[in-house]
Amino acid sequence: MKLKTFCAAVALSAVAAAPAFAQDSVKIGFITTLSGPAGYLGQDILDGFKLAMKDGSLGGVPVELMVEDDGLKPANGRQTADRLLYDEDVKLFTGIVFSNVAGATVPDILDADAIYISPNAAPSNFAGEGCNENYFVVAWQNDSLHESAGQNASNLGYKTAFVLAPNYQAGKDAITGFKRFFDGEIVGEVYTQLGQTDFAAEMAQIRDANPDVVFQFEPGGMGIAFMRQYQQAGLLGNIPMVVAEPSMDGVILNALGDAALGINVSSHWNSDFDNDANKAFVEAWKETYDRPITYYASQGYDTANLIASALEATDGDVEDVSALREALAKADFASVRGDFKFGPNQHPIQNWYALKVVEGDDGKPALKTVGTVFEDHGDAYSDQCQM
Amino acid sequence: MRTSVKIALLIVAAAALIALPIVADAMGEKAFISLATRALIYGIAAASLNLALGYGGMISFGHAAFYGIGGYVVGILSFHYAAGEPLFGVIPGTNQLLVTLPMAMLIAGLFAALIGALSLRTTGVQFIMITLAFAQMVFFLFVSLEKYGGDDGLIIRRTNAFFDFNLRDRETMYYLCLALAALVLVALWRITRSRFGFALVGIRQSERRMAAIGLSTYRYKLVGFILSGMGAGLAGALTANLLRFASPDMLHWTKSGELMIMVILGGVGTLFGPFVGAAVFVILESVLASWTANWQFPLGLILLVVVLFTHGGVQGFVERIVGRRT
Amino acid sequence: MTLFVEQLLNGLQLGVMLFLMAAGLTLIFGIMGVINLAHGSIYMVGAYVGCYVFLQTGSFLTGFAAAIAGAAVTGILIEFVVIRRLYQRDHLDQVLATFALILLFNQGVTMVFGLQPLFVAMPSFLSGSVELFGGLIYPVYRLAIIAVGLLVALGLYLLINHTRIGMLVRAGSTNREMVRALGVRVGLLYTLVFGLGALLAGLAGFMAGPILAVQVGMGEQILITTFVVVVIGGVGSIRGAFVASLLVGVVDTLLRSYLPGLLRQVMVGPEADALGAGISSMGIYLIMAIVLLIRPKGLFPAHG
């Protein structure tokens, strides 16, 4: 293990420009999901993050990214964090995709007075009473993501809904969030298993309940499997679907093709946003990577830029945790979603938009922004935070 | 190997193990202490499995169940201690190591008694499959218990309290595990050298013969199985303290497979073999992982070669070199 | 009512997939006496090879052929290099050696195909749903799987009971030593049986591709269930494998579909669903344990 980090350090410093020798690299622990059906989520966050790095540095400070795969297992995340905290003296962590891994890993990081910045998972138990001054979230709070879908479904006039999500914290947050803003009736509520890819039983139940609309939160490969089977079961043309962005990200859209046309999606970011930061990001992605762009990548990019702004302000010093914290809280960077600010619990306050899958300019289905669902929307737990 | 050579080797090994944390610290390799701790804990588990498998000839493919139960006992007791409410309304939670470790062994032993009583009515491949079946049932039971984390596992915020020692300190935990491993080794030494131990080995070699001379083979095997389960439970409880986490992964059948790998790597039916096997496995895993992310590939190759081409694992290999046939 | 029939069909589909796996495994176990944990890995190889070829060429049938060929070749290779040495060894060595093969295959597949799964769509000629009787709408693809599985069952029945090779297989299941003593080329028989088992596993893997994700570790999930089926049905018996696989498939599916709903009468949503999923998973093991305690040789033992 020591050998690997030594080689990585040598390689990084060899690649970095001469001024790098003046400073030690800042170690960033990057624990994420790189394997399994949801592996591309972690890979996209990582690649988006790296896209913001210039010559191996952030904000002019050389950075050593210590990337570890948690394999969607909370135990692995926890062990890795433990090792990085105590054997490698890492003070800054990011990367976790899934809320169950976050639940096992983040408390240890915070206990050790290190800082954690979430590029994706933001379970409700850390947003209210469990908030912590060392804990920042760049993406969104779990519930808010799906509150936007609930509002979208209400705006579209649906009266009854069948809801599905995996049985873990984020899944429960999803259904809670949807219900909070959906003013119709829930005719079916199913918690699937995390990692499940065979939904035959659920399809039968949906057909039996015959709702106006289906809301599902199945991220990554689970989403691809679900949508395919939804189509196969003959439900696609018959029962409309309203989802939030994890269920229809760029990769899922690409895998589904025309089958996805007409689906309503709500999101805090879309590739067609018109600000400078976003245009630069989308172009850089297209040049560097030969795969569809997803909002996970945009979150990785924003996280990197947030860290860059803080490192620049503290001149690369991570030992003074309170100074780093203050610099992070300022959020003084150009986000690809436009304006970015933290709420009182250090989760973002942002707009949410309604998107629709339509035929794009190149004939392939694309996500088009068609309206606004929320403006300056925080989350339901910020009042409970006592920071 | 002559006894005096054996004793000398033993003393050298003991000294090395006691000095290990100091040396590791001096060399700046702090991670090595955690590695050694894990090897010791797995050694306890493998040695316990070896009692049933190596000495008793009972190929249990479900020992992960006892290992995991030990871990969950610690986890559940901690959970109820932190929450302040007693388990089932009667049993208070506790944070004391001196309570949780024996409880873990007791509960694991009870499960071993139940599972063993039913499984030992079968032999051969049916025994292998039925132990696997029971282990899977325990696995799915814990996965379905949302209250104790379910699939995500149970976080144990603080390690158990053991007098004034801080078990989160790497070195303290190492010495605790070393002491317990030594105790387990001594216990196994006494058991295998006792009448009970010889009877067990006799049953493995020929059950019919032992039954013919009047031994109740079922009872002997069951006791062996229970003892083996208790040892695995102890290892699980230590793991839960080390990781401060109890998860269904500890109960998965692949964990049973890993324990069997350690036993065979070190030498089936030998006293020190399982500890050596556990150490080899943990070190291999670590060394290979630092070379390549695909470390399971060379591990699989090594295991395959060991199974197919060696008899008696590492300890057998060493003894053959030193000149004694196994 | 239609919901029940639909779930029943789902159970049948699962059962048929299990049968494809269990048929091969029970023969390997029954005739060669080898516990082969690597059977799940052959399933995975069939899925990967077939689905990869399908993705590259766009032709489902080409992928189909590739899957079967790839799996059979893998099977024969494994038999030649590893399994052959295990015939005389005890069960522990067999378990460990084939466990090592699992590690090798899982990692090998990752090295060739990467960490992330392959996602294949259903072939267009098998996509969509049809209306069966009484307003029941069911996906064509799953009906196709059921059809293929039943056809294979029929084919195996004819092979085992009405051909000379089948007779040798039956004889080998019942009394291995006698077959050898009678001068049959046992080595060749073993290789053929292993190859057939591997072929069926590869077929199952490829057909599962569009439904489940083709990912590393997919073999382990179905392997344990397959062993349960083999033990319940009786080692060495194809008829036993058929009955047991349908039984397990239907029971498992019905438990998963109805138990969470039942539990919701007494518990909150997420807890009920988790407990329901857990108990449903325990269900088949419970059945196996009961069968082992009452009839240790299984429902239709080949050894009489």
Q: What is the 3-state secondary structure (H, E, C) of A90-141?
A: CCEEECCCCHHHHHHHHHHHHHCCCEEEECCCCCHHHCCCCCCCCEEECCCC
How many interface pairs between B and C have CB atoms less than 8 angstroms apart?
A: 131
Q: Is the pLDDT of residue A372 over 80?
A: yes
Confidence of residue A211 (pLDDT cuts 50, 70, 90): very high
Q: What is the CATH number of the domain that holds B90?
A: 1.10.3470
- Greater pLDDT, B290 or C183: C183
Per-residue pLDDT at A16: 38
Chain A residue numbers with beta carbons less than 8 Å from the beta carbon of B247 are 73-75
**Which residue in C121, C140, C270 is closest to A167 by CB distance?**
C270
Q: Which of A311-315, A368-372, B247-251, B266-270 is predicted least confidently? A: B266-270
- Cβ partners under 8 Å of residue A308, min gap 6: A52, A58, A59, A333
Per-residue pLDDT at B320: 60
Q: Is the pLDDT of residue A23 over 90?
A: no
Q: Other CB atoms closer than 10 Å to residue C125's CB: what's the count?
A: 11
Q: Is C227 an interface residue toward B (CB < 8 Å)? A: yes
Chain B residue numbers with beta carbons less than 8 Å from the beta carbon of C281 are 136, 140, 143-144
Number of H helices, E strands in chain A: 12, 14
Per-residue pLDDT at A2: 41
Distance of CA B225 to the CA centre of its chain: 13
Nearest chain C residue to A71 by CA: give it.
C115
Per-residue pLDDT at A15: 40
What is the DSSP code (8-state) at residue B53?
I
Per-residue pLDDT at B311: 65
The residue among A105, C39, A185, C148 whose CA lies nearest residue B155 is A105
Cβ–Cβ < 8 Å for A141, A174 = no
Are the Cβ atoms of B151 and A193 closer than 8 angstroms? yes
Chain B residue numbers with beta carbons less than 8 Å from the beta carbon of A194 are 151
CATH number of C2-119+136-294: 1.10.3470
Percent of chain A with pLDDT over 70: 94
**A123-147 residue pLDDT tens:** 988 998 889 999 999 999 999 999 9
Query: Going along A234-347, which residue ranges are E strands?
Result: 241-244, 264-267, 341-342
Spatial distance between the Cα atoms of A96 and C245, rounded to a whole number of angstroms: 40
Cβ–Cβ < 8 Å for C206, C65 = no
Nearest chain A residue to B291 by CA: give it.
A4
**C152-180 residue pLDDT tens:** 999 998 998 899 888 888 887 777 778 87
Per-residue pLDDT at C302: 72
Q: Is B126 an interface residue toward C (CB < 8 Å)? A: yes
Spatial distance between the Cα atoms of A219 and A213, rounded to a whole number of angstroms: 19
Are the Cβ atoms of B157 and A107 closer than 8 angstroms? yes
The domain limits of chain C are 2-119+136-294
Cβ–Cβ < 8 Å for C238, C116 = no
Per-residue pLDDT at B218: 92
**Which residue in C82, C281, C292 is closest to B126 by CB distance?**
C292
Spatial distance between the Cα atoms of A104 and B156, rounded to a whole number of angstroms: 10
Spatial distance between the Cα atoms of A152 and A352, rounded to a whole number of angstroms: 10
Cβ–Cβ < 8 Å for A352, A144 = yes
Per-residue pLDDT at A387: 78
Q: Is A107 an interface residue toward B (CB < 8 Å)? A: yes
Tell me the CB-side half-sphere exposure of residue B25, using CA atoms within 13 A: 9
Percent of chain C with pLDDT over 70: 99
- Mean pLDDT computed over A354-364: 88
Instruction: Name all contacts of C119-122 with Cβ < 8 Å and 24+ positions apart.
Output: C119/A221, C119/A224, C119/A225, C119/A255, C119/C213, C119/C214, C120/C51, C120/C54, C120/C55, C120/C209, C120/C210, C120/C214, C121/A228, C121/A255, C121/C210, C122/A228, C122/A232, C122/C210
Q: Other CB atoms closer than 10 Å to residue A171's CB: what's the count?
A: 25
**A233-242 residue pLDDT tens:** 888 888 999 9
Positions of chain B with pLDDT lower than 50, given as ranges: 324-326
Domain total of chain B: 1
Nearest chain B residue to A193 by CA: give it.
B151
Interfacial C residues in 135-194 facing B (CB < 8 Å): none
- Mean pLDDT computed over C3-11: 89
Per-residue pLDDT at A9: 42
Confidence of residue A75 (pLDDT cuts 50, 70, 90): confident
Give, in order, the Cα–Cα distances in Å from C112 to each of B102, C108, C218, C226, C248.
47, 6, 16, 26, 34
Per-residue pLDDT at C303: 61
- Greater pLDDT, B323 or C193: C193
Per-residue pLDDT at C275: 85
In chain A, the N- to C-terminal Cα span, in Å, equals 38
Are the Cβ atoms of B304 and C92 closer than 8 angstroms? no
Q: Which residues are bridge partners to B87 per DSSP?
A: B91
Coarse DSSP helix, strand, coil percentages of chain B, rounded to the nearest 5 percent: 75, 5, 20
Q: Which of A162-176, B55-69, B281-295, C104-118 is predicted least confidently? A: B281-295
Domain housing B83: 3-325
Q: Is C270 an interface residue toward A (CB < 8 Å)? A: yes
Burial of residue C127 (number of CB atoms within 10 Å: 0-12, 13-18, 19+): middle
Strand-by-strand arrangement of the A115-118 sheet: A57-58, A61-69, A26-32, A92-94, A115-118, A135-137
Q: Other CB atoms closer than 10 Å to residue C186's CB: what's the count?
A: 19
- Mean pLDDT computed over A35-45: 87
Are the Cβ atoms of C116 and A224 closer than 8 angstroms? no
Q: Is the pLDDT of residue C187 over 60?
A: yes
- Mean pLDDT computed over C250-268: 87
Give, in order, the Cα–Cα distances in Å from C245 to each of A139, C149, C239.
46, 11, 10
Query: Going along C129-216, which residue ranges are E strands?
Result: 129-131, 137-139
Are the Cβ atoms of B129 and C277 closer than 8 angstroms? no
Q: Is B288 an interface residue toward C (CB < 8 Å)? A: no
Spatial distance between the Cα atoms of C35 and A210, rounded to a whole number of angstroms: 47
Q: Which chains does chain A touch, 3 or more C-beta pairs < 8 A?
A: B, C
Spatial distance between the Cα atoms of C114 and A43, rounded to a whole number of angstroms: 12
Radius of gyration of the CA atoms of chain A, in A: 20
| Structure tokens, C92 | 């522990």
Q: Is A77 an interface residue toward B (CB < 8 Å)? A: no
Task: Please report the DSSP string for C194-238 in residue order.
Answer: HHHHHHHHHHHHHHHTTTS-B-TTHHHHHHHHHHHHHHHH-TT-H
Q: Is the pLDDT of residue A12 over 50?
A: no
Chain C residue numbers with beta carbons less than 8 Å from the beta carbon of B261 are 96, 99
Are the Cβ atoms of C210 and A233 closer than 8 angstroms? no
Per-residue pLDDT at C53: 92
**Which residue in B31, B170, B245 is closest to A78 by CB distance?**
B245
Spatial distance between the Cα atoms of C36 and C279, rounded to a whole number of angstroms: 27
Are the Cβ atoms of B247 and A73 closer than 8 angstroms? yes
Q: Other CB atoms closer than 10 Å to residue A277's CB: what's the count?
A: 19
Spatial distance between the Cα atoms of B37 and A82, rounded to a whole number of angstroms: 15
Per-residue pLDDT at A113: 92
Percent of chain A with pLDDT over 90: 55
Q: Is the pLDDT of residue C292 over 90?
A: no
Q: Is A67 an interface residue toward C (CB < 8 Å)? A: no
Nearest chain A residue to C273 by CA: give it.
A191
**Which residue in B59, B144, B297 is closest to C278 by CB distance?**
B144
Spatial distance between the Cα atoms of C51 and C66, rounded to a whole number of angstroms: 9
Q: Which amino acid is at B172?
A: T
**C45-69 residue pLDDT tens:** 999 999 999 988 988 899 999 999 9
The complex scores an ipTM of 0.83
Q: Which of B249-253, C116-120, C281-285 is predicted least confidently? A: C116-120
Q: Is the pLDDT of residue C225 over 60?
A: yes
Q: Is the pLDDT of residue A201 over 60?
A: yes
